[in-house]
Chain A
C-alpha cells in the first residue's frame, strides 16, 4: 500500500475510534465506529489480506453495527449526560491500553526491529501446488485460498477443521440460549392467546 494511503486510513480509523468515545449522541457514536471499522478494513487490504478486510466490513460494519443502530433507534436512546469519572474506571482505562501497548512492543521486540521485507512469492510458490502455486507465480498472494488451506488442511496436514466445527456448535448453542432467555416472559401469554383463538 502506498504510504499516503496508509496514513489516510490509519487516521480515519483513529479518528473514528476517538469520536465514538467523545460523541454523546449514540447514533453518531455508532456511525463513527463504522468509520473506524472501514479504516481498519482498508489497512488489512493494504497488507494483502483481502478476505480479512472484506470480512471486517461484511460482519462488523455491515451486520453487527446495523443491529446496534437498529436497537438504539428502536429504544430511542437520548444523548447521555457527561458522566462523572470513577476511580475504578479510570484505572481500568489506564491498565488495558498499557497491556495492549506492551503486547505491540513484545511483537516488535520479537521481530528484532528489522525493516519490513516484501514477501518472496516465487520462492513460496515452490512449496505449494495447484491454484495457490499458479497465483503465487503470477505475483499475487492468494489469501483466500491460503486461509482455506490453513483452516481445512490438506490430506497430509490436519488443519483446524474440528475446532472450527466446535466453535460453530458453541455459537449455535449461545444463539438458542439467547432466544430462550429473551422469550421467558412472552411464552405464557402467547399460549393462552393460541388457546383462546
Chain B
C-alpha cells in the first residue's frame, strides 16, 4: 500500500467518474439530437450561455450547436420543486433513487479505460482500471444485479398502482435477462481462460479482437504464418462468439430497461412506470442511473468483444517503449476505448428510436425460451470446438459424434421449452376455477 498506488488510484477514480458522468450527460444530449435527426426534427440546437446574468450587456451567441444543453438540463432538475406525495412510504421512497444510481457507478471500478502505465522507470505498472480485480465480469454482474432493488423498491414505496406494476415488471424482467446475460459470456471466458478484464484486452491486442480475429501474434490474415498459428481455430470459434455477442448485447438492452425492453416505464400503459411519483433530482437520479448503466454496458461489450483499449492489427506493438506503454500511449488508448464506447452508445440510441416496444409476454418468451436455451447450447458448442484437438486424438469420429449429440440435445431442449411455454407460458395461464382471486 505505497504512496504511488494511493495517488494513482485517487486520480483514476476522479478521472473515470468525471468521464462517465460527462458521458451520461452528453448521451442524453446525443439521444435528443440523434432522435431529432431520425424523426426529421431539429432538436435542442440553440442553448447558449446566458452571459447577461454575469454582467454582460447582451447574451453572447456562441455557435455551440446546443452543446450547453446538458448544463441547462441539470440546473432545471436541481431547481425544480422536489415534491414528495403524502401517500408514499417515505424512507424507502428516498432510498430508491440512490439504490438505482449507485450500483451503475460502482461497476466502473473494474473496467480498464486505458493500458497499464509504466511508472518509476518500469519499476511499477499502474493498471488502467481503478481496481484490477481477477473476477472483473462477475463483479460487474454482481453489482449491477443490485440495481434491481432500486427500481423494485421505487415501485413499491410509491404506494400507487402504476408505479407498483412498473416495479414488478422491472424486477421480473431483470432477473430473467440476468440469466441469459451471465450464460452468454461463459463461452467468451472459455476462450480467454481468464476473468481479469485487463488481461482479456491484452490478449485481444495480440491475438485479434474477439469479433475481428484478423491478426494474431504470428502475422496478419493475408500471411501464411497467420493460418499456421491457429488462425483457422480462431475463425471456427468466431461462430459461437458472434452468437454470444448478439445474446449479450440484447440482454444488456433488457438490463438497462431501454426500448424495445422498457416495459417497466412504458408510457402508453403505466403513465411513467416506477418513477411516476418522482420529481426533480430524485427523478433525475433514475434517469442518470439508466444512462450510466448504458455507458457501462457499452464499455463492457467493447472490452469483451471489440478489444477494449487496443488498436487494431497489432498496432499497439509500435507504441511499446522499453517493454511497457508510456503515458502518452496510454492516453491514446483511452481515446480509442472511449471512441468505441461512443459508437456503441449511438447504436443503443439508434435501436431505441427505430424498434417498437415488445409486448410483455413476448419479452418473457424471448428471454426464457430463446436466449436461455441458445446461451446454454452456445456454451457446449464452444467447449466442444476448444476440445476438438484433444477429441481428435481419441479417435477420428469422436468430435463429430459429440456434435451430433449436441444437435439432438439442442433440438430436444427447444422442443421441451416450447411445449412448457405452450402449456404454462405467459398469456396461457388462468387462475384456478375453485378459488377466485379476492381483492383485499
Residues of A within 8 A of B (CB): 2, 27, 31, 34, 50-51, 54-55, 57-58, 61-63, 66-67, 69-70, 73-74, 76, 131, 135, 140, 142-144, 179, 183, 185-190, 193-194
Contact = CB atoms under 8 A, between A and B. Distances in A.
B244 to A, nearest CB: 19
A24 to B, nearest CB: 14
Given A50-B135, A57-B143, A66-B171, A186 B432 contact: yes
Contacts of B424: 179, 183, 186-187, 190
Given A62-B178, A144-B135, A186 B172 contact: no
B423 A51 contact: no
Given A27-B92, A51-B138, A73-B167, A186 B430 contact: yes
A188 to B, nearest CB: 8
A29 to B, nearest CB: 13
Contacts of A34: 146, 149
A142 B156 CA distance: 42
A62 B156 contact: no
A144 B92 CA distance: 37
B171 A50 contact: no
Contacts of B92: 27
Contacts of B141: 58, 62
Contacts of B194: 131
Contact of A31 (B134, B149, B193): B149
5 contacts: A70-B175, A144-B195, A183-B424, A187-B423, A190-B430
B432 A54 contact: no
B390 to A, nearest CB: 11
A50 B142 CA distance: 12
A166 B342 CA distance: 46
A50 B146 contact: no
Nearest to A52: B135
Interface string B417-437: 000000110001111111100
B210 interface: no
B156 to A, nearest CB: 5
A174 to B, nearest CB: 16
B431 A63 contact: no
Interface in B384-440: 423-424, 428-435, 440
Nearest to B189: A144
Contact of B133 (A50, A58, A62, A69): A50
B47 to A, nearest CB: 40
> Could you say which interface size class chain B belongs to?
35 or more
Contacts, number: 98
A138 to B, nearest CB: 11
B238 interface: no
B292 interface: no
The 10 closest A-B pairs by CB, nearest first: A62-B145, A185-B432, A58-B142, A57-B142, A54-B138, A50-B135, A73-B156, A189-B430, A54-B142, A189-B433
B23 interface: no
Contacts of B168: 70, 73-74
B287 interface: no
Given A54-B138, A73-B155, A189-B432, 11 more contacts: A27-B156, A31-B149, A51-B138, A54-B135, A55-B142, A57-B146, A58-B142, A70-B172, A70-B175, A185-B434, A193-B430
Contacts of A51: 135, 138
A27 B91 CA distance: 12
Contacts of B195: 144
A115 to B, nearest CB: 21
B237 interface: no
Nearest to B155: A73
Nearest to A187: B423
Contacts of A27: 92, 153, 156
B152 interface: yes
Contact of B431 (A58, A61, A73, A189): A189
B96 to A, nearest CB: 11
B193 A73 contact: no
Contacts of B185: none
Contacts of A2: 1
B152 A66 contact: yes
A140 B434 CA distance: 62
A58 B193 contact: no
Nearest to B145: A62
Contacts of A185: 432, 434-435
Interface string B148-185: 11001101100000001001100110110010000000
A76 B428 CA distance: 25
B428 A190 contact: yes
B365 to A, nearest CB: 16
Contacts of B152: 66, 69-70, 73
B135 A186 contact: no
A49 to B, nearest CB: 10
A127 B145 CA distance: 38
A186 B171 contact: no
A164 B440 CA distance: 45
Contact of A62 (B134, B142, B164, B193): B142
A190 B423 CA distance: 8
Contacts of A62: 141-142, 145-146, 148, 178
Nearest to B147: A62
Nearest to B132: A140
Contacts of A58: 138, 141-142, 145
B134 A143 contact: yes
B164 A186 contact: no
B139 interface: yes
Contact of A63 (B133, B134, B145): B145
Nearest to A74: B168
Contacts of A193: 430
Given A73-B164, A186-B430, A189-B431, A131 B193 contact: yes
